[in-house]
Structure formats: structure tokens, C-alpha cells
Amino acid sequence: MSELTPKKMKRLFMAIELNLLIWLFLCCALWSSTTVDPQIKGWAPFGMLVAAVLQHWAYYDLYKAQQK
């Protein structure tokens, strides 16, 4: 990974947060809808869970990169 400047770090943190918030919004929107197929409703929490795990992993990698 190239040199991580504070500006790059901030953009990466914002992108990670935005990804999880989009999945959270999508999950809530699908679950509140009455016209969505139940199978799709079942996959939305899975996508949100994957986004949360990836967010945790990315934060850990960015934290380690910042400590060097």
C-alpha cells in the first residue's frame, strides 16, 4: 500500500462508513416494504453483516498502517 496521508485515511474511513450506512438503509427499506420478495428480504441482512465484517477488517488494517 502506498503512503497513507491523513487526507487519504480520512477518505478511506468515510468510504467505509458510507458503505455500512448504505447497507443499513437498504436493509431497513427492504424490511419495511410489503411488496419485496421474502428471499430478497432474507439476503439484505447478510449483505449488511458482510459490510460490517469488512468495515471492521478495514479499520483494523488502516489502524495498523497508521501505527507504522
The C-alpha cell that represents 54 in the structure block: 469488512
Interval 45-67: pLDDT, tens? 888 888 888 888 887 777 777 77
Interval 8-46: pLDDT, tens? 878 888 888 888 889 889 888 888 888 888 888 888 888
- 65: which residues sit within 8 A by CB, 6+ positions away? 1, 4
Enter the pTM of the model. Answer: 0.68
Q: Which pLDDT value is given to residue 68? A: 67
Domain ranges of the chain: 7-67
DSSP conformation class of 4:
-
- Burial class from Cβ neighbours inside 10 Å (0-12, 13-18, 19+) for residue 23 reads buried
- 56: which residues sit within 8 A by CB, 6+ positions away? none
- CA 61 from centroid of its chain's CA atoms: 14
